[in-house]
Amino acid sequence: MAHICGLCGLKGLSLNYRLAPEHPFPAAIDDAFAVFKEITASGTKNIILAGDSAGGGLTLALLAKILAEGLSKPAGVVVFSPWTDLTLASASMKTNDKTEYLLPPRQIRAARDFYAPVDFENLDASPIFADFKNAPPVLIFASNTEVLLDDAKGITQNMQANGVDVTLNIYEKTPHVWPLLHGKLPEADKALREVQAFIQRVL
């Protein structure tokens, strides 16, 4: 987050939301929504929502909740390797099991059961099922070798069906949330340049 803010000349806020298993669903989305309401009530504008992995799913769930509640929308949204479907029904959970570097499906299932042991299709938990009509521009990154590939593809298709300005950038053979390796991995630096261009466009 600090690196992206530096590239774009922005201020950043990292939310220390409550974590499972001590604080299971919906604690995280409740915290994110409360903070967003407080920020917008203070008059802050030109907000970019961003997150990665489970935080990417939380970011997209927050966006859906903002739209459903009719709040002032962020200017744009950026997510890396988002986890959007807690049903774990996507094909890439199986087809990419052997090429996934960081997230074996069995560990994802255990994390899911810690976080939301029931109601996997709840829109605040699985934003792949949410309504994104009238959403702001969204930029999504995923790797073709990670198990969450179809989570990114599925929510992109959802947004496209709702007329959202959404871009899905799929990288070849990169690890889960590879932009964290900026300065060490060329693909990470390339992705962050794409983020910079996106943010400059929407602001």
Beta strands in 75-186 (DSSP E): 76-80, 138-143, 166-171
| Residue that has been written with the tokens 């799929």 in this structure | 170
Pairing of strands 76-80, 138-143: parallel
Catalytic residue, candidates 100, 143, 146, 182 = 146
User: Is there a catalytic annotation at residue 3?
Assistant: no
Catalytic residue, candidates 100, 176, 182, 187 = 176
> What's the CA gap between 166 and 15, in Å, rounded?
24
Catalytic residue, candidates 53, 90, 126, 143 = 53
> What's the CA gap between 179 and 193, in Å, rounded?
10
- List Cα–Cα distances, 160 to 2, 94, 137, in angstroms: 30, 25, 11
CB atoms under 10 Å from CB of 184, counted, come to 9
User: Is there a catalytic annotation at residue 146?
Assistant: yes
Active-site residue list: 53, 146, 176
